[in-house]
Amino acid sequence: MKRDADMGKLRDPGQLRAEIKRLESALAALRTQLGTAQKACDHDFLETPLSRMCRKCQWTESLYY
């Protein structure tokens, strides 16, 4: 992604929409990959009184109900 040298310069709305669509698609793919990795992880939890978080995959669960 190129940054405009002059941040005050407006970009074409069509280009912005296309970039947003591309980034949303990439984000969805990354969320899917993360979910798959977290489901397959042999969790190693670090627990606090309020939550526990896996040291390997960063899965976090609330222990406060």
pLDDT for position 11: 87
Say what the pTM is: 0.67
Whether 7 is in a domain gets the answer no
Whether 42 contacts 59, CB under 8 Å? no
- The answer on pLDDT for 1 being more than 90 is no
Whether 1 is in a domain gets the answer no
Number of domains in the chain: 1
Residue 38 to residue 33: CA distance in whole angstroms: 9
Whether 5 is in a domain gets the answer no
Residue 42 to residue 22: CA distance in whole angstroms: 32
The string of pLDDT tens digits covering residues 3-60 is 655 567 888 999 999 999 999 999 999 999 999 999 999 999 999 999 999 999 999 9
Whether 35 is in a domain gets the answer yes
Whether 4 is in a domain gets the answer no
Q: Where in the sequence is the domain holding 33, given as residue range(s)?
A: 13-62
